[in-house]
Amino acid sequence: MRRQRKFILSAVVAAVVGVTTWVALPASAAAPTASLRTVSDWGSGWQSEVTIKNTGAAAMSSWKVEFDLPAGGAIGSYWDADLVTSGNHRTFTNRGWNGSVPVGGSVTFGFVGSGGKPAGCKLNGVACEGGATTAPTTTAPTVAPTTAPTTEAPTTAPTTKAPTTAPTTKAPTTAPTTKAPDAPQPVPPAGSTLPVAVKNETGRTDNVFLYVLGTNLTTGKLGYVNAAGAFTPWTGGAPVPAPAPDVSIAGPGNGATTTLKLPKNLSGRLYMSFGQKLDFRLTTDGLVQPAPWAGGDPNRDILFDWSEFTLNDSGLWLNSSQVDMFAVPHVVSVTGGDGRTSKTGEVKAGGRQRVINTVKASPDFAKSVITRGDGTVLRVLAPGKAADAGLMSPTYLDSYITGAWNAYTGKNLTVVPFTDRPDTKFVGRTSGNVMNFTDSTGKTVASFTKPSTANVWGCDGALGAPNDLVVGPIARTLCAALTRTTLGRLDTQPSGTAADFYQGNPSNLYAKVIHDNMLDGKAYAFAFDDVQNQESLVHSGDPRQAGITLSAF
């Protein structure tokens, strides 16, 4: 399936997974019922589904489910239903193949949205089972959350609640094409923890502080790990985020190496900061991570970055990430039991400065380069984060999106999302603002409303990707094509090579220049950069040692 699962250290854990609690209303006897549940909520979006049960005395030939969204709410992708929008009112009706529901039978449809959740649900004019009178709410964080980590390249919307089961560990549909493994070297024996050597080659004299934070995949608890590999769950927290305990680990000075240990069944992030410790906060729901693009974030003036990982019985996935920002270039590596080492994420000599200079030279992107008062360039914000901070136009890609979307009013878009299953194809055509996809039988299996610039930057909202084998893979393919400006030019997706990417106008200069300055061309410059294996990810099914080398800058 894949997202094989995005690792699950969330910025603020405020997810609602399971059945949404509604105010119960009496149901008429012998009548069909409908229940609405939130499948997952990742802060910036959510996935819901409606199950219609024919508990009546006669077969159903059609159905209609309607509800209201609060101001700012939106539905992006949806499946197994048709949608009509009128202001804040949404009406879903059956498609031609799923309107008939026999007595005792059921049918389910789903959708991905953002903003407030549905309220006032009705089935055929009658309140849904436990029909909602108000939308459920969660407490918003006082510090804007970061995006969920993307170490095992994602294929679905991120979950922000600690998982109850380990993420899937199925290998990607195509193997990551990182730098060829080095010649075999002696390796340590397998153990209950995995050594991670953090080497400092930056040339900087700042003190370095390291943090290993994540989710224990056995217990579902969020917590931290010390240098010896012991996991401790977070405790405490308050409605207003309270300072977390100092769980920093002293990092290596320039030219030195510090070796940490990762316990198995952990998924999360390894942070590194220079000159100052990071400020983490705890709420009653979980951990608030640094979000330096947000106003008032206490980490705004700190030079820091992170790598993301999952370590479980199927091995180690480790990647550098530029999904939110480009700050401290670093190489990630893993040595397997065969003694071979794979690595990626290495910038070309002078690459960090070239990224900064190129972005600064663009009037559209220049303000996303963040410089501290002492002249230190702390980071280049990804365009979505820069737009959120008011540093670039929130409609930057709109003209391209409209042209690419409308290109398929008169021709087909073919999506072949699985490289190991070339016969699995979906055909898209645009009608109005919606692109509908059919499968090989001609059945409509997914629909997407035209995304906004923010949806493309975040691969979210109208491009939200549920954890399935149809809508999610199509969504991630669309987002990659829109981000790389190949949609509208290449009518089979994914397709093309790196030379075809970022050739549209306007385009994602941020992603382009980062990829251009990597030795192997690989980076995680947006959430679905794993499409066509463009991501800076290493994996070993038998890891014996991992490494993170902080590159010179």
Q: Express as a percent the part of the chain with pLDDT over 90.
A: 78
147-161, 249-263, 459-473: least confidently modelled range: 147-161
Confidence at residue 273, expressed as pLDDT on a 0 to 100 scale = 98
What's the mean pLDDT in 250-278? 97
What's the gap between Cα 329 and its chain centre? 21
Return the closest-CA partner of residue 118 out of 37, 1, 26: 37
476 with 545, same domain: the answer is no
What's the mean pLDDT in 163-171? 34
Does the annotation count 324 as an active-site position? yes
Confidence at residue 131, expressed as pLDDT on a 0 to 100 scale = 42
What's the mean pLDDT in 403-421? 96
Return the closest-CA partner of residue 368 out of 237, 466, 513, 528: 513
Number of domains the chain contains: 3
Query: Considering the chain, what is the average pLDDT of its residues?
Result: 86
Q: How far apart are CA 371 and CA 362, in angstroms?
A: 16
Q: How confident is the model at residue 467 (pLDDT cuts 50, 70, 90)?
A: confident
82 neighbors 93 (Cβ within 8 angstroms): yes
Per-residue H/E/C for 244-294: CCCCCEECCCCCCEEEEEEECCEEEEEEEEECCCCCCEEECCCEECCCCCC
Given a cut of 90, is residue 167 above it in pLDDT? Answer: no
Task: Look at strands 543-550 and 315-320 and give their pairing.
Answer: unpaired
211 with 349, same domain: the answer is yes
Tell me the three state secondary structure of residue 454. Answer: helix
429 with 286, same domain: the answer is no
Q: Is the peptide bond before 506 cis (omega within 30 degrees of 0)?
A: yes
158 neighbors 108 (Cβ within 8 angstroms): no
Tokens at 283, concatenated:
């709420």
pTM of the model as a whole: 0.80
Confidence at residue 337, expressed as pLDDT on a 0 to 100 scale = 95
Q: To 5 degrees, how large is the angle CA 538–CA 385–CA 210?
A: 50
438 with 359, same domain: the answer is no
Per-residue H/E/C for 466-489: CCCCCHHHHHHHHHHHHHCCCCCC
pLDDT in tens, 337-364: 999 999 999 999 999 999 999 999 999 9
Determine which one of 324, 346, 388, 460 is catalytic: 324
Given a cut of 80, is residue 172 above it in pLDDT? Answer: no
343 with 264, same domain: the answer is yes
What's the mean pLDDT in 250-255? 98
Residue, of 254 and 155, whose pLDDT is higher = 254
373 with 446, same domain: the answer is no
Domain-located, residue 256: yes
Confidence at residue 225, expressed as pLDDT on a 0 to 100 scale = 98
Domain-located, residue 11: no
pLDDT in tens, 527-542: 999 999 999 999 999 9
Which residue has tokens 């290596």? 252
What's the mean pLDDT in 52-65? 93
Q: Is 239 exposed, middle or buried (0-12, 13-18, 19+ CB in 10 A)?
A: exposed
Does the annotation count 530 as an active-site position? no
Residue, of 127 and 174, whose pLDDT is higher = 127
Determine which one of 80, 285, 308, 535 is catalytic: 308
Residue 114 sits in a domain whose CATH number is 2.60.40.290
Q: Which domain holds residue 327?
A: 195-394+516-550
141 neighbors 11 (Cβ within 8 angstroms): yes
